Structure 1
Amino acid sequence: MFRALNYRNYRLFFMGQSISLIGTWMQQIAMSWLVYRLTDSVFLLGMVSFANQIPAFLLGPFAGVISDRFNRHRLLLLTQFLFLIEASTLAALVLTNTVNIYYILGLGVFAGIINAFDMSARQSFVVQLVEKREDMSNAIALNSSMFNMARLVGPSVAGGLIAAVGEGICFLINAISYFAVLASLLLMRLPKVERKVQDTQILKSLSEGFRYAFGFAPIRDILVLIATLSLFGMPFTVLMPAFARDVLGGDASTLGLLMGASGVGALLGALYLASRKTVIGLARVIVVASVLFGLGLMAFSFAQTLVLAMLSIFVVGLGMILRMASSNTLIQTIVDEDKRGRVMSFYSMAFMGMAPIGSLLAGWVAERIGVGYTLLGCGVICLLSIIPFVLGLPKAREQVRPIYQRLGILPEIASGLQVASNLTSPPEGGKM
């Protein structure tokens, strides 16, 4: 389950990111609570999320070109340092009681610009840290485990700190946490990566990446699925403060418990994926996860007690990470190395870029029909969104089979049995 940690560089990355992500989740909870406390507006909750994530939609493809052309390690050092500056500025504003919604929106846009480049470089960089390709899926699953362990710890700690001393300390802790990831990046010993000579025209390079990603059905179908989840599913996190306070009658601690329950479900899902030894069958996992996510979100919309809300959001977290991490693993497995940065930028664009539009839309709808009905509608749409993916699976499996054959992923080849016959005749099976 933890075999990717045998690689020194990945182990450093894992430890640094684990610390930093706890701070990131603390800041996210503190930010949501701060905005709702200052404005009492569900719409402005969505607007802050929109400001923070829309740059990923606008700049994501260009960030992918940069990631394919330049040293990803150096890019990450720069983005993490800029995140440190952003969190420190936010902490200073809150602790000195000079913060307002305009500062928050401005810093959100700044962080979003950084994140557009950070996500593309980071998603592609992880693959460089694992020497054996068969351990790549484990590394991606462990990344999800790390993310959701932080998601479990960060909100729980933040809820208590906000109730005790206010939001400012959470922002300060997040700023300090970036030193851990900067140290881990500086301690890495990375081999020199030979890159193919890229065309000097950025737009041409971007067009090539777009044609590759959306001209290949397996990658295109996954990107569409992720975009749908991000647009209609992820806004539940934006509406969580309103749900905790107005529906459940709770406070910041209630919000922390809800986010923690979602984090437990996501962590268990990530650990399950880490225990898998092959990518074969992940498409089936995506289908099951999508059903769990949709049903969980619908159940959450009806919850009137904290216990039922936590059980429902646990299922939502489980379905969400199974769908997201499985999709990430499949794309990382089948993508060509020289186009990895651009394809992962489209993944980030689908994941982070569609979320702000969904958040803004969900905030606008929630102010008119209520949080509960908005979440119910989101759950129904997410449940229906899996139908086109299922219908396209037979064709996608046929297209992915030669790639799995070339990589030695199919059982017949991976086991070393009948190698000669498999090279001259089509394999009997193999699932995406």
Structure 2
Amino acid sequence: MDQIAAAGLAKRAGAPKALSVRNFRIYFTGMAISVPGTWMQMTAQSWLVLQLTNSPVSLAIVTSLQFLPVFVLSLIGGALADRLPRRRLMFVTMSMGCTQATVLGTLCLTGTISIWHIYVLAVTLGIINALDAPLRQSFISELVPVTHLPNAIAMASLAQNLGRIIGPALAGVVIAVLGVGVAYLINALTFGAALVALSMLRSAEFQPRRLPRKQSLLLQVREGLSYARRTPTILFLLIATAFIGLFGQNFSTMVPLISIYLVHADAAAFGVLNSCLGSGSFLAALVMTTRGAPSTRRILLAGAGFGIVLTLISFSSNLTLSAAMFVAVGATAVTFSASVNTLLQLHAPPEMRGRLVSMIGLLIPSPIGPMLTGAAASTFGVAWAVMGNGIMCCVGIGLAYWYLLRHRSNGTSLEYVPVPIPTVPADTSA
């Protein structure tokens, strides 16, 4: 059965529920437990850096060091995700993540933490994420049939954003009462749930997977880049994502800067603002679980809305107003990123999904964005830096729209068009 045609039938019939599939249900449960710990660590790290240094540039350096390995190694991680057993690799990456969190927590609790420790461990986490992110995203296609894929991706986004609500709020309380070190150790414990979930999956129920032909990793990366360049839908998604990732979705830098320098929030209010961002993301992800395959129109509207609201946030110093706008930012950001991820995976050949989703991971978030934001905030002020980011997001969406119109004028449609699915006799040889 043709992969895209099957997805089209799902769109017409209504999105099926991925949680009806045992393997995905177990995987989703493990994610729902583990993800809040990850967001707790991210919140704790931003707070710790500012407490140690009181420097926007230091925060930007840590964020960039964490995402620089993703920028350098993401395409290699995508190639590995296409050619090796994904579940086995995920056991390795999750175990490494657990170790990294444990080391950070121990350094904090013993009072020996220094900024250079955070720098080194940020690079370590970046290397882990460069390998893990393409694995997690492409692994979903092994757990459910393609007709369930839009719903499964939306459910994975739902788990991520539920964690974005719970994690920062819990981090604010834990940091205020028990200290930053405990927040890191709680994250280390939550990795256990994800590892248990992976061990419970039935490999016999995985979706058939066609491996790419044997060649070097660099040739595989080149093949993926060539396919993206020659495929208008993929290139449209990458253009839009490049600007949103570079200028918009560096929340680990912008949220602390906005909280401390514009809103003048304390630790608890900092957690509330992060949770508002997560609440909007969660609501958008929840809505998307009821939708089928996304359209280019949805992606353009979400990207433009994201840039506009981000620009408006730069004018606010009121906690309540900023919190409300963070809800809108979270909603538009998730609608954009989840729609891009879904449309990309529906249009990607199954044997190339790891490499293509790694390109999205390469762009969101960008390791260059935090440095630009930190430098702009130090030079022109936080408000001007945030406003500039919002404007540039809108510029990027405008360029993507121009590309869309150009291909439409040439008679090329970037929209998903359902096609009839031929009847294929069942294989009874097994």
RMSD (Å), alpha carbons: 1.8
Provide, for residues 106-157 of structure 1, a one-character-per-residue CA deviation record: whole Å limited to 9, x for no partner. 01111111110101111110111112x1210001111111111110111011
2:305 is aligned with what amino acid? L
Task: Give the alignment partner of residue 75 of structure 1, picking from 79, 85, 89.
Answer: 89
Cα distance in 2 for partners of 1:56, 1:320 equals: 20
Cα distance in 2 for partners of 1:38, 1:334 equals: 46
Q: Does 1:383 align with 2:394?
A: yes
Cα distance in 2 for partners of 1:371, 1:261 equals: 20
**Secondary structure of the structure 1 residue equivalent to 2:314:** helix
Residue 50 of structure 1: aligned partner: 64
Q: Does 1:263 align with 2:278?
A: yes
1:196 is aligned with what amino acid? L
Task: Give the alignment partner of residue 359 of structure 1, picking from 359, 365, 370.
Answer: 370
Residue 179 of structure 2: aligned partner: 166
Gaps of 5+ in 1: 420-432
- State the 1:198 CA deviation: 2.1
Residue 116 of structure 1: aligned partner: 130
Provide, for residues 227-260 of structure 1, a one-character-per-residue CA deviation record: whole Å limited to 9, x for no partner. 2111100234313223222322221111111111
- State the 1:194 CA deviation: 4.7
- Check the 8 A contact 2:82/2:211 in 1, yes or no: no
Structure 1 runs (4+) greater than 4 angstroms displaced? none
Provide, for residues 177-234 of structure 1, a one-character-per-residue CA deviation record: whole Å limited to 9, x for no partner. 0000000000000236453352332222221111011221110121121121111002
- Check the 8 A contact 2:314/2:387 in 1, yes or no: yes
Cα distance in 2 for partners of 1:177, 1:59 equals: 26
**Secondary structure of the structure 1 residue equivalent to 2:155:** helix
Provide, for residues 51-95 of structure 1, a one-character-per-residue CA deviation record: whole Å limited to 9, x for no partner. 111101101111111111100010111100100110111110011
Residue 324 of structure 1: aligned partner: 337
Residue 225 of structure 1: aligned partner: 240
Residue 426 of structure 1: aligned partner: none
Q: Does 1:372 align with 2:396?
A: no
- State the 1:290 CA deviation: 1.4
- State the 1:399 CA deviation: 4.9
Q: Does 1:60 align with 2:74?
A: yes
Provide, for residues 280-336 of structure 1, a one-character-per-residue CA deviation record: whole Å limited to 9, x for no partner. x52111111112211111111111110110111111111100110000000000000
2:93 is aligned with what amino acid? T
- Check the 8 A contact 1:334/1:400 in 2, yes or no: no
Q: TM-score, structure 1 length as denominator?
A: 0.90
Q: Does 1:214 align with 2:225?
A: no
**Secondary structure of the structure 1 residue equivalent to 2:412:** helix
1:392 is aligned with what amino acid? Y
**Secondary structure of the structure 2 residue equivalent to 1:275:** coil
Q: Within 5 Å, give how 1:123-272 maps onto structure 2.
A: 123-131=137-145, 133-191=146-204, 193-196=208-211, 198-272=213-287
Provide, for residues 140-175 of structure 1, a one-character-per-residue CA deviation record: whole Å limited to 9, x for no partner. 111111111110111011111111121111101000
Task: Give the alignment partner of residue 24 of structure 1, picking from 16, 38, 41.
Answer: 38
Cα distance in 2 for partners of 1:230, 1:138 equals: 24
Cα 1:399–1:336 shift into 2, 3 Å? farther
Q: Does 1:338 align with 2:340?
A: no
2:376 is aligned with what amino acid? V
Cα 1:145–1:190 shift into 2, 3 Å? same
Q: How many residues align?
A: 404
Cα distance in 2 for partners of 1:167, 1:100 equals: 13
Provide, for residues 13-56 of structure 1, a one-character-per-residue CA deviation record: whole Å limited to 9, x for no partner. 11101111100000000000000000000001000001111101
- Check the 8 A contact 1:224/1:350 in 2, yes or no: no
- Check the 8 A contact 1:2/1:142 in 2, yes or no: no
Task: Give the alignment partner of residue 111 of structure 2, picking from 93, 97, 101.
Answer: 97
**Secondary structure of the structure 2 residue equivalent to 1:168:** helix
1:378 is aligned with what amino acid? N
Cα distance in 1 for partners of 2:228, 2:17 equals: 30
1:142 is aligned with what amino acid? M
Provide, for residues 3-22 of structure 1, a one-character-per-residue CA deviation record: whole Å limited to 9, x for no partner. 11111111111110111110
User: Among the aligned pairs, what percent are the same residue?
Assistant: 34
**Secondary structure of the structure 2 residue equivalent to 1:385:** helix
Provide, for residues 345-372 of structure 1, a one-character-per-residue CA deviation record: whole Å limited to 9, x for no partner. 11211224x2x21001111110111111
**Secondary structure of the structure 1 residue equivalent to 2:364:** helix
Cα 1:311–1:197 shift into 2, 3 Å? closer
